[in-house]
Amino acid sequence: MINGKIIKVCGMREAENIQDIESIEGIDMLGFIFYPKSPRCVYELPAYLPTHARRVGVFVNEDKQVVSMYADRFGLNDVQLHGNESPEYCRSLHSTGLKIIKAFSVDRPKDLKKVYDYEKVCDLFLFDTQCEQYGGSGNQFDWSILHTYNGHVPFLLSGGINSYSANALKEFKHPRLAGYDLNSRFETKPGEKDPERIRTFLDELKSSL
């Protein structure tokens, strides 16, 4: 954590890169994407998996048996759902002992109305920029919309966070803000993160907050 905030790096794939990123002080979660249409999709078990950071599997409208299979194979701690999964679907996976992160695309305040149906079946929400494809766009949405969210479930902020976002993150405050999700803006290529860029960003975050 950095100043009490969760730091999640998503879209990991290569063993050496996973190890390098996990070794950075403050990294709490590493995400593995199991969505075939993503350029960061993981098709085989890397030679190294996180031992300290929580392992998060990212799925989009996937069959529950497939999610359970990957959860077992990769030793996932958390499942992040980026599709149109229902509250009942979340409840069913939650009952197996997995922590559930439900992602919601945000463009207007009304996009937050449906999140309340998921309050009792999710451990975290993730608010991301709305775009045509499932998953991230690398663009930032208007974070001020989140001030209309007054639920009880803590959330991760996602969508276009980059090396220069530290000051903006310092300005944004919300009682349920649990942490930040980093992905494409910290890459050298899809699925490979730049450790120095992440380290520098986290150092700025520490001094900014």
Catalytic one of 10, 20, 90, 181: 10
Catalytic one of 20, 128, 181, 194: 128
In terms of phi and psi (left: phi > 0; alpha: psi -120 to 50; beta: otherwise), the region of 92 is alpha
The continuous run of DSSP H or E covering 31 comes out as strand 29-33
Reduce the DSSP state of residue 35 to 3 states and report it: coil
Q: Which stretches of 60-186 are assigned E, i.e. beta strand? A: 78-81, 99-106, 124-129, 155-157, 177-182
Reduce the DSSP state of residue 141 to 3 states and report it: coil
Residue 90 annotated in active site:
no
Residue 10 annotated in active site:
yes
d(CA 8, CA 71): 18
Q: How many CA atoms lie within 13 A of 1 on its CB side?
A: 8
Report how many helices (DSSP H) and strands (DSSP E) the chain contains, helices first. Answer: 5, 10
Active site residues: 10, 128
